[in-house]
Amino acid sequence: MEGPWKKLADGCHCNRRTVPMLEANGFKVEIAAEMDKLPMFPLTRPIVSGVATAGPDPAARPA
């Protein structure tokens, strides 16, 4: 479903778990709202709103 969904939803990747992906790549994620209920179409769930900020740069740590 990802191919057609990307065209319908302005590039959205419905098969990605965005929050875990951001956290695994060093971002701090602050979730403001999360919704995983009906009446949302299953392909569009969960919907997450929030802010992701870059974590500390590992290269900047003192030796």
Distances (CA, A) of 16 to 3, 29, 59, 60: 13, 16, 28, 30
**CA-based R_g, the chain, Å:** 15
| Max Cα–Cα distance, the chain, nearest Å | 52
Average pLDDT over residues 9-27: 84
**What percentage of the chain reaches a pLDDT higher than 70?**
73
Return mean pLDDT, the chain: 78
Q: What is the pLDDT at residue 56?
A: 72
Q: In which band, very low, low, confident or very high, does the pLDDT at 58 lie, cut at 50, 70 and 90?
A: low
Q: In which band, very low, low, confident or very high, does the pLDDT at 40 lie, cut at 50, 70 and 90?
A: low
Bridge partner residues of 54 (DSSP): 27
